[in-house]
Amino acid sequence: MHVLRFISRRIGISFLVLLGASLLMYVLTINAGDPLADLRESNSENKQNLMDQRTEIMGLNDPWYVRYWNWLFGVSKCFALQCDFGTTRNGVSVNSLLPQAAASTMRLVVLATLIAIVVGVAIGILTAIRQYSGFDYVTTFLAFLFFSLPVFWAAVLLKEYGAIRFNDWIADPLLSPGAMILWGLGLGLILQAIVGGGRKRRLYTLGITWVFVTGALFYFEAVDWFRQPALGVGVVVIAAAGAAVLVTALVTGLDNRRVLYAALTTVVVGGVSYLALMPVLDEPNWWILFGLLVLAMALSNLVGWLWGGYDKRRAMFVSSITGFIMSLLVAGDQMLSHWASFLDLKPRPISTIGSETPNFPGGFWEDVLDKGTQLILPTILLALVSIAGHSRYTRSSMLEVMGQDYVRTARAKGLSERAVITKHAFRNALIPITTIVAFDFAALIGGAVITEQVFGWKGMGAMFKQGLQQVDPPPVMAFFLVTGVAAILMNLVADIAYAYLDPRIRR
């Protein structure tokens, strides 16, 4: 009952905030210029007729509050699932423009947000654990560098090196032996800094990574893997098994054999299912993939429940995560196996303009690759700044929590460092991080306006810019409504997360 009352109160406050902000946005938009400016300068013989038509369409003869009320009344029909967002000054219904624009922007922003949360929080935890190490100093420097990057300048660099030069290279992907050795050495240095430990451990990590990466690059070069890549069922199963062990170690520790066996059984069931479903996965659709994901989650939970014994809840949780990771690996393997056919259709795979290739003739996976490659550069651009912010806030929050008495008590009781970090420190450190994530989502939507402009995406940013330039309120208000509702929903999710993380907040 307390939770429902808490959520209802937050929804009511959010609605009032959205209503007041919409009034302010509408007034600012209609006073941003003259909607008839282009026609006043026209030399057309029917200039007056055109001005009269636009005046009628936009309702310019009505007072501003009447126009706002008409827009608000149309939007209120959304409660009856009959939304009316008005028409542009050219008489085009905003309802017909909004779905594609919103889908384009949300696809970009949601993906960037998820990447920023996962990577930023992980880096923040690692730097807090490895405070004042070389890894901490380098990460701090890079975080401040990325946080201060001008978006438009970084976008130009990404276009040059991530699109134009990559497209040139992928046409004939050659790596010199010196480049392979340097790549292996660079990744080895990064990994040994993350793993840490004594000098001997660092040298082992550096050497093994160097040999493995260099050998893999020589193999890829020999078999032309960069143009005809694939993982195969064996690699998918091995990678999923590694993920199962890692997730088990983080959640319960490897001493809990039932949870570990549940995760590994999930991998085996997933591998057998992949072999059986290969003909279906070769050319599926989104409904089939969604159904298979639901089935994978159901089977994972069943395996966790059967193996769990006294610890069914955590066994089901670990099995579900393992099943989800394996589903991602299977999808990744399918995309890689269709990379060669995608390159045949689109020799220069990463375009610098647009969110997809018009009239693209490929099948399902080729179409996914086309849209996915177009997501890479703007997603990286949006995610970099957020990763920098998330990592700094996570580090600060973790360091503050790890200095508390209850964390020192947990260590004094003899709990493992894993249990101290995951069960005691991280959960309490999540409360301020949740606030930052919610606000950052709204900031990302605002930043997407510039990013879409640079990369030529026809999303909400283009609609907002055009409406503002033409002093046309309906497109601008549609942008405000979608982004405002999304921001408010994220803040509502954050409030609910507070109540889950700390039950005292519910009161």
Which residues, listed in sequence order, are joined to residue 93 by a DSSP beta bridge? 87
Q: Which residue has the higher pLDDT, 422 or 216?
A: 216
Q: How far apart (Å, rounded) are the C-alpha atoms in residues 366 and 343?
A: 9
* Whole-number pLDDT of residue 326: 94
* Whole-number pLDDT of residue 140: 86
Query: Would you say residue 1 has pLDDT above 60?
Result: no
Task: Based on the fold, state whether residues 387 and 417 are members of the same structural domain.
Answer: yes
Residue 233: inside a domain: yes
Task: Based on the fold, state whether residues 43 and 56 are members of the same structural domain.
Answer: yes
Task: Based on the fold, state whether residues 425 and 466 are members of the same structural domain.
Answer: yes
* Whole-number pLDDT of residue 77: 84
- Please spell the DSSP secondary structure of 464-503, one letter per residue: HHHHHHTT-HHHHHHHHHHHHHHHHHHHHHHHHHHHHH-G
Mean pLDDT of 301-312: 89
Distances (CA, A) of 12 to 7, 41, 358: 9, 47, 43
Task: Based on the fold, state whether residues 85 and 160 are members of the same structural domain.
Answer: no
pLDDT band at 260 (very low <50, low <70, confident <90, very high): very high
Residue at 282: amino acid letter: D
* Whole-number pLDDT of residue 390: 87
Query: Would you say residue 236 has pLDDT above 90?
Result: yes
Q: How far apart (Å, rounded) are the C-alpha atoms in residues 410 and 405?
A: 9
Q: Do 105 and 459 meet the contact criterion of CB atoms below 8 Å apart? A: yes
Distances (CA, A) of 82 to 74, 95, 176: 8, 10, 61
Give the chain's domain count. Answer: 2
Q: How far apart (Å, rounded) are the C-alpha atoms in residues 255 and 140?
A: 35
Q: How far apart (Å, rounded) are the C-alpha atoms in residues 57 and 51?
A: 10
> pLDDT, tens digit, for every residue of 166-206?
999 998 888 888 999 999 999 988 888 877 777 888 899 88
Q: 67 lies in which domain range?
A: 16-96
Task: For tokens 């959640």, name the residue.
Answer: 251
The SS3 assignment for 59 reads coil
> pLDDT, tens digit, for every residue of 409-452?
888 888 777 778 877 788 778 877 777 777 777 777 776 777 88
Mean pLDDT of 102-122: 85
Q: Which residue has the higher pLDDT, 496 or 462?
A: 462
Task: Based on the fold, state whether residues 236 and 248 are members of the same structural domain.
Answer: yes
> pLDDT, tens digit, for every residue of 317-334?
999 999 999 999 999 999
Number of CB atoms found within 10 A of residue 285's CB = 9
Domain end position, chosen among 80, 96, 112: 96
Residue 336: inside a domain: yes
Task: For tokens 């690059």, name the residue.
Answer: 217
> pLDDT, tens digit, for every residue of 377-391?
888 888 888 888 888
* Whole-number pLDDT of residue 172: 87
> pLDDT, tens digit, for every residue of 8-63?
777 788 888 888 888 998 999 888 888 888 888 777 778 888 888 888 888 888 88
* Whole-number pLDDT of residue 465: 84
Task: Based on the fold, state whether residues 372 and 425 are members of the same structural domain.
Answer: yes
Residues written for the chain:
507
> pLDDT, tens digit, for every residue of 241-254?
999 999 998 888 88
Task: Based on the fold, state whether residues 234 and 87 are members of the same structural domain.
Answer: no
- For the ranges 177-181, 222-226, 297-301, 354-358, the lowest mean pLDDT is seen at 354-358
Residue 189: inside a domain: no
Mean pLDDT of 479-500: 78
* Whole-number pLDDT of residue 503: 63
The mean pLDDT of the chain is 85
* Whole-number pLDDT of residue 252: 84
- Please spell the DSSP secondary structure of 342-375, one letter per residue: HHHH-SS---SS-SS-TT----HHHHHHHHHHHH
Domain end position, chosen among 96, 129, 160: 96
Distances (CA, A) of 371 to 108, 139, 273, 343: 11, 31, 27, 14
Residue 178: inside a domain: no
Task: For tokens 């062990």, name the residue.
Answer: 245
The contacts of residue 380 (CB under 8 Å, 6+ apart) are 158, 162
* Whole-number pLDDT of residue 244: 93
- Helix, strand, coil percent content, the chain, rounded in steps of 5: 80, 0, 20
